[in-house]
Structure 1
Amino acid sequence: MRESEILYPSLSLSQYIKYYWVLKTDEIEPVRIQTIPSGCVHLVFHRGDNLNIQSKGLQPKNFIRGQFSVYGSLASKGNIDMIAIIFHPLGLTPFIQCPMSDLYNRYIDIEDLEDIELNHLKNAISSESNVQTCIEFIELFLMKRLIDIDYNHKRVQNSISQIINQPQIEVNTLAESACLGYRQFKRIFTNHVGMSPKEYYRVVRFQRVLYLLQNNPEIEIADLTYSCGFYDPSHLVKDFKEFSGCSPTQYLSSHSPYSTFFSEDCRLNVITSNRFA
Structure 2
Amino acid sequence: MNFQIIPPPPSLKNYVRHFWMLEDQTDDVSPKTFTAMCNGIPGLIFQEKPEAFAGFEGERLPQLFVFGQATKYGQLHCHGSFRTLGVSFQPTALKSVFGLNANELTHQNTCISQLTKTVLTEQLLNCSSLQQQVNCLSTFLLAQVRRHEGGNKKVEYAVGALQQGANLSRVLHDLNLSGRSLERLFHSYIGIAPSLFTRICRFQTSLAFLRQSKFHSLTDLAHSIGYYDQSHFIRDFKLFSGASPRIYLRKTIERMPGFPEWQS
Name the TM-score, length of structure 2 as normaliser.
0.88
Query: Hey, what does 1:268 align to over in structure 2?
Result: 256
- Give the counterpart letter for 1:268 in structure 2: M
The runs of 5 or more residues in structure 2 that have no matched partner are: none
The question of 1:106 aligning with 2:108 is answered yes
Query: Hey, what does 1:74 align to over in structure 2?
Result: 76
Aligned equivalents of 1:100, 1:175: Cα separation in 2: 21
**Residue 6 (structure 1) shift:** 1.8
Residue in structure 2 matching 1:55, options 51, 54, 57: 57
Is contact 1:99–1:192 with CA below 8 Å preserved after alignment? Answer: yes
Classify 1:158/1:269 alpha carbon distance in 2 versus 1 (closer, same or farther; 3 Å): closer
Query: Hey, what does 2:11 align to over in structure 1?
Result: 12
Classify 1:237/1:75 alpha carbon distance in 2 versus 1 (closer, same or farther; 3 Å): same
Query: Hey, what does 1:158 align to over in structure 2?
Result: 157
Aligned equivalents of 1:4, 1:251: Cα separation in 2: 20
Report 1:93-172 matches (<5 A): 93-113=95-115, 115-116=116-117, 119-147=118-146, 150=150, 153-167=152-166, 169-170=167-168, 172=169
Report 1:188-199 matches (<5 A): 188-199=185-196
The question of 1:211 aligning with 2:211 is answered no
SS of aligned partner of 2:34:
strand
Aligned equivalents of 2:149, 2:224: Cα separation in 1: 33
Aligned equivalents of 1:149, 1:57: Cα separation in 2: 33
- What count of residue pairs does the alignment treat as equivalent? 258
Query: Hey, what does 1:263 align to over in structure 2?
Result: none
Aligned equivalents of 1:110, 1:76: Cα separation in 2: 22
Classify 1:218/1:98 alpha carbon distance in 2 versus 1 (closer, same or farther; 3 Å): closer
Is contact 2:35–2:242 with CA below 8 Å preserved after alignment? Answer: no
Classify 1:4/1:53 alpha carbon distance in 2 versus 1 (closer, same or farther; 3 Å): same
SS of aligned partner of 1:58:
coil
SS of aligned partner of 1:146:
helix
**Residue 154 (structure 1) shift:** 1.1
Deviations 1:219-244 (A, max 9, x none): 31222012110011111111112212
- Give the counterpart letter for 1:84 in structure 2: G
Deviations 1:225-266 (A, max 9, x none): 12110011111111112212222122222126x7xxxxxxxx
Is contact 1:49–1:76 with CA below 8 Å preserved after alignment? Answer: no
Aligned equivalents of 1:19, 1:207: Cα separation in 2: 17
Classify 1:55/1:6 alpha carbon distance in 2 versus 1 (closer, same or farther; 3 Å): same
Classify 1:228/1:177 alpha carbon distance in 2 versus 1 (closer, same or farther; 3 Å): same
Aligned equivalents of 2:88, 2:206: Cα separation in 1: 20
Name the TM-score, length of structure 1 as normaliser.
0.84
- Give the counterpart letter for 1:134 in structure 2: Q
Is contact 1:178–1:185 with CA below 8 Å preserved after alignment? Answer: no
Aligned equivalents of 1:195, 1:270: Cα separation in 2: 19
Is contact 2:65–2:110 with CA below 8 Å preserved after alignment? Answer: yes
The question of 1:187 aligning with 2:188 is answered no
- Give the counterpart letter for 1:125 in structure 2: L
Classify 1:166/1:81 alpha carbon distance in 2 versus 1 (closer, same or farther; 3 Å): closer
Deviations 1:59-91 (A, max 9, x none): 222111211011121122223121101112224
**Residue 156 (structure 1) shift:** 0.7
- Give the counterpart letter for 2:119 in structure 1: H
